[in-house]
């Protein structure tokens, strides 16, 4: 655990040192849980967003995109249930005066039990070697079964108490499990209270006439209120989807995990409108499609798992998360929710306007059901970034830090380096950048010895380096170095663009997705 913590700290400082993520308004000592993306971070973030957008909108004939405003009519949030129910249960420790999410305290306790199971598995795997059958071990080892039973019982009780809004029982659970404040070590807790996560603001010049507004806590409602606009103007037939990316704001109680939990963040959401009765089939479809989207990036499948929700939100008839193995354990990366007709029906009621669809095949009007996929762009960034961060021991005893970001998403695709700063090599290198820049992000770098420049590009995640040497001037070839293998090959300058495009073009990734 301590090791994972160390790694996470290194990842955070690497993100800052190499211009990926800075604390917001840092010269004023920052703002809690708010971050700025630097010159390399914004490129990675844009590339992830583009991958999501194109896979949703460009590859699906029946999915279109919109960009709704952050401010919405305040009744939107009454109708959506956020005013009444967008709460987190909070608890304070009376000694440290630290505030926690009560459910997260319990979930962290369960994560520790899960870590014990993992330890047992690792121990047994070592003992049995090739003979080891993990599945069988998990199903039969008495100690593991005990742990599993305990973890399931705790989560079930937590889910039920939250469902019933029985906050006294959530506190009782924390006390029974003897959970102590990580800061003070004490078990001197306040009662559990509900806390609404929406940020309020005002619209209008005078205090008397100003209207109370909220910063949107999710992008989804901008899609629901535009359902008919898009359906009619786009002549869309069910099933069809509306996709959107954009900022969302939540006054999170605890925000300690870097960009995992921010107060201002970006979501990428898609609402898929379907005939009632088909939600199970579409739920399974989108679960698979979304997992495939992640796996296409080439990150090992062991880092992902589905987690079914114990406690269903007020609008859902089925829901699960795709969890990712972050440096601090498996946590939610994306949600897939079967939202029934809750949202459209509720807006219909509050707005007093019909939000029905006339189905020419069924020859009837009805309120469509909705299947939602919702992923945090910043969390996806953290998943990619933390997975990419590698400290690799080299043969000469030194260590190189390399960001193994999938080439297609890397901020810079290729760095062109003259071997020395003379003899016409810089000019030739700049010409190559000028040719490549139309198709990919290419940079020129002449500072320091070439070995150090390779290290720097490794640390930035640049998948390819092209080195121009004296031979280049004679025979029109350069060396092409691969970030991950560090292998170099000699290639013709004329074919460089084509060779690289095959590796770094978003198309190569999109083609892996089966639609």
Q: What single DSSP character describes residue 206? A: S
x-or-dash pattern for ligand ATP, window 289-328, by CB under 6 A?
Answer: ----------------------------------------
Q: Which residue has the tokens 């006294």?
A: 168
Q: By CB under 6 A, is residue 334 in contact with ligand ATP? A: yes
Phi-psi region of 298 (alpha: psi -120 to 50; beta: other; left: phi over 0): left
CA distances, 511 to each of 56, 65, 93, 287, 515 (Å): 13, 21, 52, 19, 10
Position among 35, 224, 265, 369 found at the interface with ligand ATP (CB under 6 A): 265
**Phi/psi at 460 (nearest 5 deg)?**
-90, -10
- Distance CA(102)–CA(16), nearest Å, equals 31
- Nearest residue (CB) to ligand ATP, 261 versus 347: 261
Please report how close the Cβ of residue 379 comes to ligand ATP at its closest, in angstroms.
Answer: 4
Give the angle 364-76-242 at the CA atoms, nearest 5°: 55
CA distances, 115 to each of 112, 135, 148, 324, 458 (Å): 5, 17, 11, 15, 32
Site size with ligand ATP, rule: CB under 6 A: 16
With both helix axes pointing from N to C terminus, report the angle between 377-388 and 2-17 in degrees, rounded to the nearest 10.
110
Please report how close the Cβ of residue 314 comes to ligand ATP at its closest, in angstroms.
Answer: 13
Q: By CB under 6 A, is residue 252 in contact with ligand ATP? A: yes
Q: By CB under 6 A, is residue 333 in contact with ligand ATP? A: yes
Window 419-458: residues binding ligand ATP (CB under 6 A): none
Q: By CB under 6 A, is residue 267 in contact with ligand ATP? A: yes
Q: Find the residue with minimal CB distance to ligand ATP.
A: 376
Please report how close the Cβ of residue 59 comes to ligand ATP at its closest, in angstroms.
Answer: 22
- Nearest residue (CB) to ligand ATP, 309 versus 456: 309
- Nearest residue (CB) to ligand ATP, 335 versus 418: 335
- Range in contact with ligand ATP (rule: CB under 6 A) among 120-128, 331-339, 398-406, 505-513: 331-339
Please report how close the Cβ of residue 448 comes to ligand ATP at its closest, in angstroms.
Answer: 37
Give the angle 489-491-496 at the CA atoms, nearest 5°: 120
- Distance CA(88)–CA(194), nearest Å, equals 6
Window 338-397: residues binding ligand ATP (CB under 6 A): 374-376, 378-379
Burial 105-128 (b: 16+ CB within 10 A, else e): bbeebbbebeebbeebbeebeeee
- Distance CA(496)–CA(476), nearest Å, equals 11
Q: By CB under 6 A, is residue 262 in contact with ligand ATP? A: yes
x-or-dash pattern for ligand ATP, window 201-230, by CB under 6 A?
Answer: -----------------x------------
Please report how close the Cβ of residue 269 comes to ligand ATP at its closest, in angstroms.
Answer: 7
Give the angle 70-73-75 at the CA atoms, nearest 5°: 125
Position among 14, 250, 428, 453 found at the interface with ligand ATP (CB under 6 A): 250
Residue ranges in contact with ligand ATP by CB under 6 A: 218, 250, 252, 261-262, 265, 267, 332-335, 374-376, 378-379
């Amino acid at each position: 655990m301590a090791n994972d913590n160390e790694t996470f700290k290194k990842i955070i400082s690497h993100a800052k040192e190499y211009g990926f993520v800075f604390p917001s308004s840092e010269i004023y000592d920052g703002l809690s849980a708010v971050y700025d993306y630097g010159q390399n971070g914004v490129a990675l973030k844009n590339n992830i967003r583009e991958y999501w957008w194109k896979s949703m909108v460009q590859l699906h004939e029946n999915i279109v995109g919109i960009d709704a405003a952050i401010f919405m009519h305040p009744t939107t949030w009454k109708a959506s249930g956020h005013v009444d129910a967008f709460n987190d249960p909070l608890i304070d420790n009376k000694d440290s005066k630290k505030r926690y999410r009560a459910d997260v305290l319990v979930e962290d306790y369960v994560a520790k039990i899960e870590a014990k199971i993992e330890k047992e598995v690792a121990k047994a795997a070592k003992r049995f070697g090739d003979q080891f059958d993990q599945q069988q071990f998990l199903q039969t080892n008495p100690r593991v079964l005990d742990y599993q039973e305990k973890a399931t019982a705790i989560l079930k009780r937590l889910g039920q108490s939250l469902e019933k809004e029985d906050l006294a029982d959530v506190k009782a659970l924390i006390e029974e499990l003897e959970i102590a404040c990580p800061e003070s070590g004490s078990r001197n807790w306040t009662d559990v209270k509900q806390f609404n996560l929406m940020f309020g603001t005002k619209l209008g010049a005078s205090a008397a006439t100003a209207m109370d507004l909220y910063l949107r806590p999710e992008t989804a409602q901008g899609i629901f209120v535009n359902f008919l606009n898009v359906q009619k103007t786009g002549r869309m037939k069910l099933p069809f989807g509306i996709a959107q990316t954009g900022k969302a704001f939540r006054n999170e109680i605890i925000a300690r995990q870097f960009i995992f939990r921010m107060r201002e963040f970006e979501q990428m959401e898609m609402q898929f409108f379907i005939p009632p009765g088909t939600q199970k089939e579409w739920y399974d479809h989108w679960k698979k499609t979304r997992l495939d989207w992640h796996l296409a990036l080439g990150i090992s499948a062991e880092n992902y798992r589905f987690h079914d929700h114990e406690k269903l939100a007020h609008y859902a008839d089925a829901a699960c998360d795709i969890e990712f193995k972050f440096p601090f354990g498996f946590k939610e990366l994306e949600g897939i929710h079967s939202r029934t007709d809750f949202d459209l029906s509720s807006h219909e009621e509050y707005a007093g306007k019909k939000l029905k669809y006339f189905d020419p095949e069924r020859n009837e009007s009805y309120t469509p059901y909705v299947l939602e996929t919702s992923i945090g762009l910043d969390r996806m960034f953290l998943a990619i970034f933390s997975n990419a961060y590698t400290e690799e021991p080299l043969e000469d005893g030194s260590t190189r830090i390399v960001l193994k970001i999938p080439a297609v998403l890397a901020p810079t695709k290729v760095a062109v380096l003259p071997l020395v700063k003379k003899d016409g090599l810089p000019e030739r290198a700049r010409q190559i950048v000028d040719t490549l820049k139309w198709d990919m992000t290419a940079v020129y770098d002449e500072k320091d010895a070439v070995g150090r420049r390779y290290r720097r590009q490794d640390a930035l995640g640049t998948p390819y380096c092209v080195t121009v040497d004296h031979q280049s001037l004679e025979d029109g070839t350069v060396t092409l170095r691969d970030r991950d293998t560090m292998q170099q090959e000699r290639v013709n300058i004329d074919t460089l663009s084509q060779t690289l495009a095959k590796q770094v073009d978003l198309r190569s990734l999109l083609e892996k997705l089966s639609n």
